[in-house]
């Protein structure tokens, strides 16, 4: 009985060691990609001056602002159209739109 328990304990340790090795191999493989990713970011920032990076970020934020404004204006127009179909009072809807 004790021999059987010792054998199970050895198998359990072997399993835990294999599992730890698999997890370590996974992180080593992902670590290579992670290092390459941060290396690419460092190379990107190293290729431009601060003024150029600020200009790039400004253009990206400007385009994002344009699309967000367009998206929410479209949603607002659809809501106003639904209210117009339900209530039918154009002046009340226009006053509500001007207030917001």
CA separation, residue 41 to residues 36, 45, 53 (Å): 9, 6, 12
73-98 pLDDT, tens digit per residue, is 999 888 888 877 777 666 666 666 55
Q: Which domain holds residue 38?
A: 1-47
Distance CA 73, CA 63 (A): 15
| Domain total in the chain | 2
Residues 78 and 42 placed together within one structural domain of the fold: no
Residues 36 and 4 placed together within one structural domain of the fold: yes
Residues 60 and 98 placed together within one structural domain of the fold: yes
Residues 90 and 60 placed together within one structural domain of the fold: yes
Residues 67 and 56 placed together within one structural domain of the fold: yes
Distance CA 57, CA 50 (A): 11
15-62 pLDDT, tens digit per residue, is 667 667 666 666 667 677 777 777 777 787 778 788 988 998 999 999
> What pTM value is reported for the model?
0.48
């Amino acid at each position: 009985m004790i021999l059987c328990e010792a054998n199970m304990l050895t198998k359990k340790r072997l399993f835990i060691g294999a599992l730890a090795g698999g997890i370590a191999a996974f992180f080593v493989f992902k670590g290579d990609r992670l290092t390459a990713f941060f290396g690419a970011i460092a190379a990107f920032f190293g290729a431009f001056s601060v003024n150029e990076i600020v200009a790039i970020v400004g253009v990206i934020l400007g385009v994002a602002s344009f699309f967000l404004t367009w998206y929410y204006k479209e949603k607002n127009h659809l809501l106003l159209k639904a209210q117009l179909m339900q209530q039918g009072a154009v002046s009340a809807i226009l006053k509500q739109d001007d207030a917001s």
